[in-house]
Amino acid sequence: MPYISVTALSHPGLRREHNEDSLVVGPWTLCGSVTENPQTMAFPLGHPLVVAVADGIGGQPAGEVASSLVVRRLALFGPALDGEEAVRDALGMCNHAVYAAADRAPELSTMGTTVAGVVILEQELLVFNVGDSRVIEVGPAGDGIETSADGGLTGDRAATDDTLHQVSVDDSPPLAHGRRTTSIVTQALGGAPTFSAITPHVSRSTLTPGTRMLVCSDGLTDPVLESEIDDVLRAHDGGRAVFELWKAAMAAGGPDNVTIALVSLAG
């Protein structure tokens, strides 16, 4: 029977005092925590399953409050996220909730968060984001994945020249010449003194056997080159892959909070 496997990890990095990232996997949430050991969960395919990362906006107050508020609402909305419009509506309600919470407490004013994730349906995959957290397809749809006992890939998949394909849309201004990343985002959930509406990016694709999706905050994609992420995901799957990605972010200086979720359709 097909099932969804999700392996996740969240860590503050080496330069931040605390973790402003939050994560939702189905009904389970992880907010402002440290998990150096990847956690793996399995879910039956059929009912909507939401997997998302929210990254509190740095340099503004209470990013961890905004990100946790969003993932907890997505956990509640999850079973009803059965189409693109439902996802857009849910993100709109999350945006209103962040502003409403900030209005009730002056110390939370201008708090905000990005969010990116997937909803796995029985035959479709919905991808969504607001801000610069990312969803990346690992390899072409329909390419089967076999793993060895140590988590390494075997067979044809390990020998292909497949590359990563980002399927989320970065809400960032054009990069200056010579720069690879930017901390500026053009829209977020909350983040402004007065309410600002959002235009979520939502797309759908066919769910096929062997599908793998990487959902992560920019604490991974900013310091670690795409080619290095690709190399790790060619060589490993599951917990080993997530652990090696975290190690790569730490080896690159761990400049920011890093949260990683690797989603696989197996069985």
Do 253 and 12 contact (CB within 8 A), yes or no?
A: no
Cβ-count burial of 140 within 10 angstroms (0-12 exposed, 13-18 middle, 19+ buried)?
middle
Q: In whole angstroms, what separates CA 14 from the centre of its chain? A: 20
Stated pTM of the model: 0.89
Give the pLDDT confidence score for residue 160 in this predicted structure.
Answer: 44
What is the Cα–Cα distance from 91 to 87, expressed in whole angstroms? 6
The angle that helices 226-235 and 238-251 make with each other, rounded to 10 degrees, is 150
Query: What confidence score (pLDDT) does residue 58 get?
Result: 83
At 13-63, the pLDDT tens digits run 998 888 999 999 999 999 988 888 999 999 999 999 999 999 999 888 899
Confidence band for 154, pLDDT divided at 50, 70 and 90:
very low
- Predicted pLDDT of residue 16: 86
Closest to 81 measured CA to CA, from 171, 170, 204:
204
Position 132 pLDDT exceeds 50: yes
Q: How many residues does the chain have?
A: 267
| CA proximity to 21, closest of 183, 200, 217 | 217
Q: Is the pLDDT of residue 75 over 80?
A: yes
What pLDDT shows up at residue 50? 98
Rounded to an integer, the average pLDDT of 160-172 is 80
